[in-house]
A and B are shown apart, each in its own frame.
Chain A
Amino acid sequence: MAADMINWSLLALEPPGWGGVLLAGLMNSIKIALGGYSLGLVLGTGGAFGKLYGGPVMRDLMEIYTTVVRAVPELVLILLLYYAGTDLLNRVSAALGYGSVDISGLAAGIFVIGVVQGAYSTEVLRGAILAVPAGQMEAARAFGMSPLMVMRRVTLPAMLPHALPGLSNLWLICTKDTALLAVVGFSELTLVTRQAAGTTKAYMLFFCAAGVLYLLLTLVSGLIIRVIEARARRGWAAR
Chain B
Amino acid sequence: MTERAEAIAVRDLCKRFGALEVLKGISLTAREGEVIAIIGGSGSGKSTFLRCINMLEVPSSGSVAIRGEEIALRSDRRGGLVPSDRRQVQRLRARLGMVFQSFNLWQHMTIIQNVIEAPMHVLGVPRAEAIERGEALLRRVGLFDKRDVYPAFLSGGQQQRAAIARALAIQPHAMLFDEPTSALDPELVGEVLGVIGDLAKEQRTMILVTHEMKFARDVASHIVFLAHGVIEEQGPPEQIFGDPKSELLKKFISSSH
Residues of A within 8 A of B (CB): 133, 135-136, 138-146, 149, 153-154, 157-158, 160-161, 232, 234-237
Taking A138-B56, A139-B98, A142-B98 as contacts, is the C-beta distance between A235 and B121 under 8 angstroms? no
Q: How far is the CB of A149 from chain B (nearest CB, A)?
A: 6
Q: List the A side residues contacting B121 at CB < 8 Å.
A: 145, 149, 153
Q: Are A144 and B106 in contact (CB under 8 A)?
A: no
Q: List the B side residues contacting A142 at CB < 8 Å.
A: 54, 56, 93, 96, 98, 100
Q: List the B side residues contacting A154 at CB < 8 Å.
A: 106, 108
Q: List the A side residues contacting B105 at CB < 8 Å.
A: 139
What is the number of residues of chain B that contact chain A, defined by CB distance less than 8 Å?
Answer: 32
Is the CB of B11 closer than 8 A to any CB of chain A?
no
Q: Flag B95-118 by CB within 8 Å of A: 1 or 0 each.
A: 110101011111111100000011
Q: How far is the CB of A131 from chain B (nearest CB, A)?
A: 12
Q: List the B side residues contacting A234 at CB < 8 Å.
A: 150
Q: List the A side residues contacting B201 at CB < 8 Å.
A: none
Q: List the A side residues contacting B102 at CB < 8 Å.
A: 133, 135
Q: Are A136 and B104 in contact (CB under 8 A)?
A: yes
Distance, CA A138 to CA B176, complexed state (A):
14
Interface centre among A139, A153, A160 (most CB of B within 10 A): A139
Q: Are B100 and A143 in contact (CB under 8 A)?
A: no
Distance, CA A160 to CA B105, complexed state (A):
17
CB < 8 Å neighbour of B90 from A135, A146, A160, A237 = A146
Q: List the B side residues contacting A144 at CB < 8 Å.
A: 90-95, 118, 122-123, 170
CB < 8 Å neighbour of B104 from A138, A145, A161, A237 = A138
Distance, CA A138 to CA B100, complexed state (A):
10
Distance, CA A113 to CA B117, complexed state (A):
37
Q: List the B side residues contacting A232 at CB < 8 Å.
A: 108
Q: List the A side residues contacting B108 at CB < 8 Å.
A: 154, 157-158, 160-161, 232, 235
Q: Are B117 and A236 in contact (CB under 8 A)?
A: no
Taking A135-B102, A144-B90, A145-B122 as contacts, is the C-beta distance between A237 and B152 under 8 angstroms? yes
20 more A-B residue pairs beyond the given contacts A145-B118, A158-B106, A234-B150, with a C-beta to C-beta distance below 8 A: A133-B102, A133-B104, A135-B103, A136-B106, A136-B107, A139-B100, A139-B104, A139-B105, A140-B106, A142-B56, A142-B93, A143-B117, A143-B170, A144-B92, A144-B123, A144-B170, A154-B106, A235-B107, A236-B107, A237-B153
Q: List the A side residues contacting B150 at CB < 8 Å.
A: 234-237
Nearest B residue (CB) for A160: B108
Nearest A residue (CB) for B97: A143
19 A-B residue pairs with CB within 8 Å = A135-B104, A136-B104, A138-B56, A142-B96, A143-B98, A143-B117, A144-B90, A144-B95, A144-B122, A145-B118, A145-B122, A149-B122, A154-B106, A154-B108, A157-B108, A235-B107, A235-B151, A236-B107, A237-B153
Chain B residues 101-158 with CB under 8 Å of chain A are: 102-110, 117-118, 121-123, 150-153
Distance, CA A142 to CA B150, complexed state (A):
21
Is the CB of B74 closer than 8 A to any CB of chain A?
no
Taking A135-B104, A146-B86, A153-B121 as contacts, is the C-beta distance between A141 and B153 under 8 angstroms? no
Distance, CA A158 to CA B113, complexed state (A):
14
10 tightest A-B CB contacts, nearest first: A144-B94, A135-B104, A139-B104, A143-B118, A235-B150, A144-B93, A237-B152, A142-B98, A144-B90, A144-B122
Q: How far is the CB of A156 from chain B (nearest CB, A)?
A: 10
Nearest A residue (CB) for B167: A143
Distance, CA A235 to CA B113, complexed state (A):
12
Distance, CA A38 to CA B6, complexed state (A):
52
Q: List the A side residues contacting B95 at CB < 8 Å.
A: 144
Distance, CA A154 to CA B95, complexed state (A):
19
Q: Are A141 and B93 in contact (CB under 8 A)?
A: yes
Q: List the A side residues contacting B104 at CB < 8 Å.
A: 133, 135-136, 138-139
